[in-house]
């Protein structure tokens, strides 16, 4: 048994639900010391964990994890945020169960099998929240614009002008179509929120050296640079450029059969939105930076495997360039 200052180390798994949490305490040998059901409230969680002297705690990355994490972390216990999909796969392989509850989390924790999710400090978490809000609003803007285009087509109204410029919107208002007016009202409200978020993100950009380094890559703008720096966090947590590419889900999946290894489509792990951003950055780069190493790489792959596979490969190569730029604190060249 491991002792810390004469106290037995406990391994605690926490199964979080909206109304309650199930907490299991386990010792190093795998004996369940106790299992409790507590309210999912700040008071109940504070009271429960304040009575524990030494423990490691595993909680799943659910929709309400953050404030729970912060309470336990502030008490001084070591908290690990768990990737639920990977935890389920490990539990199935190692423990022969696909159900990940509090005791399974405690067992994975004591066995050092926890697939940990990077948390970062509070400022980085707030930055990621802003980035996610911006991505969400951007999707909504695209959807509203598409609905307006569809409504015009449905009514047989055609125009060559950009209907979302100042003059274009004036034209839309003059049509006196209630459904389009409502969509424009929603669009303009979302755009005001987007402007507010953009201002906050620019404040982060001005004090974020990594983001400034990233904007030296043609194709990566200020907001994308901030988004990438928020998701990456400390570059030193990645042991290699390949690990960073894998984190973004841009590495090919592999399967082995006998002595042969087969490479398939990319794994698509991590954030789909950030992966999409990287691919868009790669497209912009190859279209506007004709003589760069990345563009030449893209053209070579495109001739052999087509544009679609080439751009994904280029985005993957871009993440490896990003890794070394951030590692060495040097601009793109």
Per-residue pLDDT reduced to its tens digit, 93-133: 776 665 778 999 999 999 999 999 888 888 888 998 999 99
Mean pLDDT to the nearest integer, 268-279? 84
CATH architecture classification, 3-110: 2-Layer Sandwich (3.30)
Contacts by 288-295, CB closer than 8 A, 24 or more apart: 288/218, 288/219, 289/218, 289/219, 292/218, 294/318, 294/321
Domain residue ranges in the chain: 3-110, 122-207, 235-328
User: Tell me: the pLDDT tens digits for 155-200?
Assistant: 999 999 999 999 999 999 999 999 999 999 999 999 999 999 999 9
Q: Under a CB-based contact definition with an 8 Å cutoff, are residues 177 and 230 in contact? A: no
Report helix angle 272-288 to 222-232, nearest 10: 140
pTM value is 0.78
Residue 271 confidence (pLDDT): 78
Residue 4 confidence (pLDDT): 45
Longest alpha-carbon distance in the chain: 80
The span from the CA of 333 to the CA of 49, in Å, is 51
Q: Under a CB-based contact definition with an 8 Å cutoff, are residues 62 and 100 in contact? A: no
Neighbours of 266 (CB within 10 A): 20
Q: Which of 69, 91, 89 is closest to 80 using CA atoms?
A: 69
The span from the CA of 216 to the CA of 214, in Å, is 5
């Amino acid at each position: 048994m491991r002792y810390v200052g004469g106290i037995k180390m406990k391994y605690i798994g926490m199964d979080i639900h909206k109304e309650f949490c199930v907490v299991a305490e386990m010792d190093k040998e795998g004996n369940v010391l106790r299992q409790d059901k507590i309210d999912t409230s700040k008071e109940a969680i504070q009271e429960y964990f304040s009575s524990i002297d030494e423990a490691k705690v595993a909680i799943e990355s659910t929709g309400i994890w953050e404030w729970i994490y912060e309470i336990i972390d502030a008490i001084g216990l070591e908290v690990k945020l768990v990737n639920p999909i990977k935890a389920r796969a490990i539990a199935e392989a190692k423990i022969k169960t696909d159900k990940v509850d509090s005791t399974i989390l405690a067992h994975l924790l004591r066995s050092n099998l926890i697939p940990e999710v990077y948390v970062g400090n509070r400022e980085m978490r707030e930055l990621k929240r802003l980035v996610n809000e911006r991505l969400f609003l951007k999707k909504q803007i695209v959807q509203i614009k598409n609905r307006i285009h569809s409504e015009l087509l449905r009514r047989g109204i055609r125009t060559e002008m950009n209907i979302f410029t100042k003059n274009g919107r004036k034209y839309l208002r003059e049509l006196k179509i209630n459904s389009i007016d409502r969509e424009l009202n929603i669009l303009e409200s979302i755009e005001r929120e987007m402007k507010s978020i953009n201002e906050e993100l620019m404040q982060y950009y001005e004090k974020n050296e990594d983001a400034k380094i990233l904007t030296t890559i043609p194709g990566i703008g200020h907001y994308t640079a901030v988004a990438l720096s928020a998701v990456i966090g400390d570059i030193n947590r990645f042991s290699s450029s390949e690990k960073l590419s894998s984190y973004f889900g841009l590495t090919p999946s592999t399967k082995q059969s006998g002595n042969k290894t087969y490479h398939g489509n990319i794994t698509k792990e991590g954030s789909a939105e950030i992966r999409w951003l990287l691919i868009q950055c790669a497209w912009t780069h190859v279209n506007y930076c004709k003589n760069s190493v990345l563009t030449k790489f893209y053209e070579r792959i495109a001739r052999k495997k087509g544009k679609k596979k080439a751009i994904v490969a280029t985005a993957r190569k871009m993440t490896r360039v990003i890794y070394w730029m951030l590692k060495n604190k040097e601009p793109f060249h």
